Structure 1
Amino acid sequence: MAARNTLRRSLLYVPGSSQRFLDKSRSLAADCLTYDLEDSVTPHMKAEARSLVRRAIDQPTPNQIRERAVRINSVDSGLALADLTEVLQSPNLTTIVIPKVNSASDLTFVTDVITHTLYQQPQETQRPPISLLALVESAKSLTNLTQITSSTPLLQGLIFAAEDFALDLSLTRTPSLTEFLFARSAIATAARAADLPSTIDLVCTSYKSDKGDGSPPLALEEECRDGRRLGFNGKQCIHPTQVKVANDIFGPDAEELVWAVRVVVADEKAAGQGRGAWTLDGKMIDVPVAMKAKGIMKKGEACGVDVGALRREWEHQEPE
């Protein structure tokens, strides 16, 4: 079974054909650093990129990077088998991102290759389990979401590829992103229904500062907040400057954490009193709200927040 990494606030793509970018990526701090063999690599560089990425994965994982992944080429491209055969030789590989997943058979193929390749390796080889993330990029993939999400136990999340989706449906991307509302809602809902831990939203194509101080553009923050409201818990990034914004917005903020701790502390006392529902700050708290608060605390801990200190600060919180 795949290890279930539930913290992919930022998924940063690194071109697999650039040794300079691969070296620089070791100093970055994205939750999921993804070496790309697909869109950012020209056809004549595919073979070299495989070798460069393989060498990059073979190096120890830097402490500030939670996860390293490889985006292979699509199954339909005919290049996926060569990509998998190369990168699966690294004992450090944990995650594979599969583009253009149109049907369950795409993930079944990848799973079969993984199973066969790992079976061929020496049994004493110590390696982490493999996780899969699937890119949803077409109308066909959207209509096949139920089959896709149930196709393999290795699947951990869905990623929305807006530009390819817009190409497939002849859509024009607008700043409001309303043309993607149905697709994004369907993806977030399908991932939740299948109990997949990661739902990763579209790329923000704006990365150069529009404020004159070098800070990320406002559009990135707006897109992250919009994605979070729709049920996504992470964002694809194409530039290192986008990572911090994604990490901040898709992680619990300070005010939200305080609320969650107050709810959990008071709910424990309410349960001891036999109360299934109670109020806090004039608002009703019942089981679903308490569960949400516990989830926020868990995410805070995963993000490195000292939740224990917050609990001690609010240990006197009582249910109203």
Structure 2
Amino acid sequence: MATKSGSLATKSSSILRRSMLYVPGSSKRKILASLNVVADNVTYDLEDSVTAAEKVPARDRVRDHLRSIGVPGYIHRYVPRQIGEIAVRINSVSSPHALNDLINIAPQLALDAVVVPKVEHPADLTFVSNVLRQLVPHRQRLLWDGDGGDGAPQRDPIRLLAIIESARGITNLPAICNATPYLSGLIYAAEDFALDLSLTRTPHLLEQLYARCAIVTNARAAGLPSAIDLVCTSYVEDPEAEARGERTALARLEEECLNGRSLGFNGKQCIHPLQLETVQRFFSPLDSEVEWAARVVIANEKAAAAGHGAWTLDGKMVDAPVVGKARAILDKARKCDIYVQSVLDKWQHQEPELGGGGSDDAQEKEQ
């Protein structure tokens, strides 16, 4: 299975992909401008945003760009610190372009991940994985702690992100998730899925609910770090939208972010830099969540010291799963550069509410 010890998924707990910005490989201006954005992931696109006539020039342009931001050695890069990950979306493996895409981009030191579109079968990912092992064997190792055997520091393996765009892809998710140890996340392509099923995308997205839940559930079951939600197609504000009683582009984006979070997605695709700040903010722990988590963690330490495995806070029971959720929130907050220690200091005197009728109290009464 792809999630056994030594796999990329289990080694990638520090990966943060709240936002994933697509940059057309056919636009030199946008490629250069991408280095100024603040994003967890910047993905240079060789697929949907590139016309057939531009496939080869776009590939060369992206290759040269990656070469320009990489330097000799395995570790150092000229990638701005505010960009967490550099990726390239290749053309689908069924196209005549995928192999040449990989041949050109895989050797570039700046490359962190390959985004594979139109994934419907495990073989789509094993093809990419096998090609990468042939092209860059020094990077594609399951165990990469330490060095490459010759004393040289070794870069992390090139990760894979799979875009699920069809009914067949949804149906084959369990097998897809276990296709390769380099798989690091699933991405949902709403427009393509709607096309495959002859659906009309609606503002409430109910017609997409089954597929989105399947993506999140299978990503979690396989231990993948990322489940990345659909693109919000609204990014240009219409000054007359409110007068017509319609939602603004920002309001639509915020609503989609909240909806995606509620389903379990931990990131969202972006098609314009104007979407990045909102997306990264909504997929970071909220201030209220960090405060609650800090209170739970501090009070739990005191409850445990008193021998209580279950207790209450604000009238609600707290047990091991709740404490686990609180710790996960604080861990993610730290990755998002939220100063958690100040919140912990603020609530250092938080006490658990004991004697609230929890399981421990029931056991004491029986005794």
TM-score range, shorter chain: over 0.9
**2:298 corresponds to which of 265, 281, 288:** 265
1:292 aligned residue: 325
Identity %: 54
CA contact (8 A) 1:103 1:144 kept: yes
2:19 aligned residue: 10
Q: Please report how far the alpha carbon of residue 127 of structure 1 lies from its aligned counterpart in structure 2 after TM superposition.
A: 3.2
Residue segments in structure 1 that go unaligned for 5+ positions in a row: none
Amino acid of the residue matched to residue 290 of structure 2? L
2:111 aligned residue: 93
Query: In 2 relative to 1, CA 288–125 (structure 1 residues): closer, same or farther, beyond 3 Å?
Result: closer
CA contact (8 A) 1:92 1:127 kept: no
User: Could you list the per-position Cα deviations for residues 134-173 of structure 1 after superposition, in whole angstroms to 9, with x for gaps in the alignment?
Assistant: 0000010010000000010100110000011111111111
CA contact (8 A) 1:211 1:217 kept: no
Residue segments in structure 2 that go unaligned for 5+ positions in a row: 1-6, 70-77, 140-147, 242-247, 354-367
2:189 aligned residue: 161
Alignment of 1:59-98 (within 5 A): 59=69, 60-98=78-116
1:183 aligned residue: 211
Q: Please report how far the alpha carbon of residue 125 of structure 1 lies from its aligned counterpart in structure 2 after TM superposition.
A: 8.5
What is the CA–CA distance in structure 2 between the aligned matches of 1:57 and 1:268, rounded to whole Å? 48
2:174 aligned residue: 146
Query: In 2 relative to 1, CA 307–120 (structure 1 residues): closer, same or farther, beyond 3 Å?
Result: closer
What is the CA–CA distance in structure 2 between the aligned matches of 1:27 and 1:266, rounded to whole Å? 42
What is the CA–CA distance in structure 2 between the aligned matches of 1:149 and 1:250, rounded to whole Å? 23
Alignment of 1:1-320 (within 5 A): 1-2=7-8, 4=12, 5-58=14-67, 59=69, 60-119=78-137, 126-210=154-238, 216-320=249-353
Give the TM-score taking structure 2 as reference length: 0.84
What is the CA–CA distance in structure 2 between the aligned matches of 1:168 and 1:291, rounded to whole Å? 39
What is the CA–CA distance in structure 2 between the aligned matches of 1:194 and 1:217, rounded to whole Å? 33
Q: Secondary structure at the match of 1:109?
A: helix
Amino acid of the residue matched to residue 63 of structure 2? R
What is the CA–CA distance in structure 1 between the aligned matches of 2:123 and 2:85, rounded to whole Å? 26
CA contact (8 A) 1:91 1:128 kept: no
Give the ranges of 4+ consecutive aligned residues of structure 1 lying more than 4 Å apart after TM superposition: 120-126, 210-213
Q: Secondary structure at the match of 1:217?
A: helix
Give the TM-score taking structure 1 as reference length: 0.96
What is the CA–CA distance in structure 1 between the aligned matches of 2:21 and 2:299, rounded to whole Å? 39
What is the CA–CA distance in structure 2 between the aligned matches of 1:235 and 1:253, rounded to whole Å? 16
Q: Secondary structure at the match of 1:116?
A: helix
